[in-house]
Amino acid sequence: MKDIQNLLWATGITASLLWSCGSKPAAELTLSSLNPADFKTEIAGRPVDLYILKNKAGVEVCITNFGARIVSVMVPDKNGTLQDVVLGFDNITDYMNVPSDFGAAIGRYANRIAYGLFVLDGDTVRLPRNNFGHSLHGGPQGWQYRVFEAKQTGDTSITMTYFSPDGEAGYPGNITATVIYTLTDDNAIRIAYEATTDRKTIINMTNHAYFNLSGDATQPVTSDILYVNADHFTPVDSTFMTTGEVLPVAGTPMDFTTPKVIGEEIERTDYEQLINGDGYDHNYILNTKGDATLTAAKVVSPASGISLEVYTTEPGIQVYTGNFLDGSATGKKGVTYHRRTGLCLETQHYPDSPNKADWPSVVLEPGQTYASLCIYKFTIEQ
């Protein structure tokens, strides 16, 4: 008996030594198989991490404060199986080193400003140009590459705050911006933007999530069915810049007022706007007129049955079919992101509004508060 006790004691010592030599329990992964440890780092002296939102229905949204990015969204499909429906990376290193807008909060100005120039109170503001001679999404060092201060206020909400100093990327004014992500119990991601400034400036924020509602990012989104509540759109030239025109969608491939398959007309070579946009990469003028109770857009994956409805206070929405995804980025679970495997529905003011006086203003004055709301709501269609 004493020999058995000695053996057990020795075994315990051995186990203890093995533990102390580095054997540790496996890190707890998220439902989307992310390891939070792969997101812990410091950038420019600021801590970066992965934050997890969960609701009572079991839906999970993972967010990093690097660019206030949505990293994964796990929602149930028609069979009740949770699917990750957004593109992204599974570690912070790739977000830092592979240029992308995956899931990011975009600022100061979402979309394009022509030639990186606009005039404010008689002064010409010059911005860095990073897209066919224009400034896109705040330039090459926009807010998608900045570290936000994160404050998680519970299981279902997190506030991201960023201070943008006067002159950053050429923009005037010190701006304090917040992005509040809230996961509701009816499976909606509510994104509330606010910003204030100490000097007259411009602002236009959005989220740049790439959705693939099939849950299989190897498959294109062109088989999904899209509805856009817009009778007009703003056409673009061959550099993807808005021309200043407003055209009706009726009788054109741009018309999604009746739901249709995204790929039904996307390859048409007899329609200039699809050539200029290399597919759909256009701002639609919403009929909702800022009423966030009305559906701005809706997309359904026949493969999974997952439906995404978009609601917003913004006057426009950019429909982008992932035309520039070219296989150069390898995302979560080692999946290579090829052309048109993601759909972006970016709520916004119109591109190049600072240079189009008759379009809704994007000017923010001291004493004012910029406020914008976007809701991405997930449901099931059998």
Sign of the torsion angle spanned by Cα atoms 207, 208, 209, 213:
positive
For residue 314, with 0-12 CB atoms within 10 Å meaning exposed, 13-18 middle and 19 or more buried, which class applies? buried
- Please state, in angstroms and rounded to a whole number, the distance separating the CA atoms of residues 116 and 323: 23
- The active-site residue, picked from 60, 134, 137, 208, is 208
Delimit the domains of the chain by residue range.
36-380
Portion of the chain with pLDDT greater than 70, in percent: 93
**pLDDT, average across residues 260-271:** 98
Please name the residue that has the structure tokens 């079919």.
Answer: 321
- Confidence at residue 20, expressed as pLDDT on a 0 to 100 scale: 34
**pLDDT, average across residues 82-105:** 98
pLDDT of 357 > 80? The answer is yes
Q: Is the peptide bond before 108 cis (omega within 30 degrees of 0)?
A: yes
Q: Is 346 a catalytic site residue?
A: yes
69 φ, ψ to 5°? -90, 140
Averaged pLDDT score across all residues of the chain = 93
Q: Is 208 a catalytic site residue?
A: yes
Portion of the chain with pLDDT greater than 90, in percent: 92
pLDDT 10s digits, 102-151: 999 999 999 999 999 999 999 999 999 999 999 999 999 999 999 999 99
pLDDT 10s digits, 16-29: 333 333 333 446 99
Confidence band for 382, pLDDT divided at 50, 70 and 90: confident
pLDDT 10s digits, 197-243: 999 999 999 999 999 999 999 999 999 999 999 999 999 999 999 99
Which overall architecture, per CATH, does domain 36-380 show?
Answer: Distorted Sandwich (2.70)
- Confidence at residue 177, expressed as pLDDT on a 0 to 100 scale: 98
- Looking at residue 242, the DSSP 8-state letter turns out to be B
Question: What dihedral do alpha carbons 347, 353, 357, 359 form, nearest 10°?
Answer: -20
- Confidence at residue 27, expressed as pLDDT on a 0 to 100 scale: 62
Whether pTM > 0.95 for this model: the answer is: no
Structure tokens at 214: 């099939």
- The active-site residue, picked from 60, 168, 309, 346, is 346
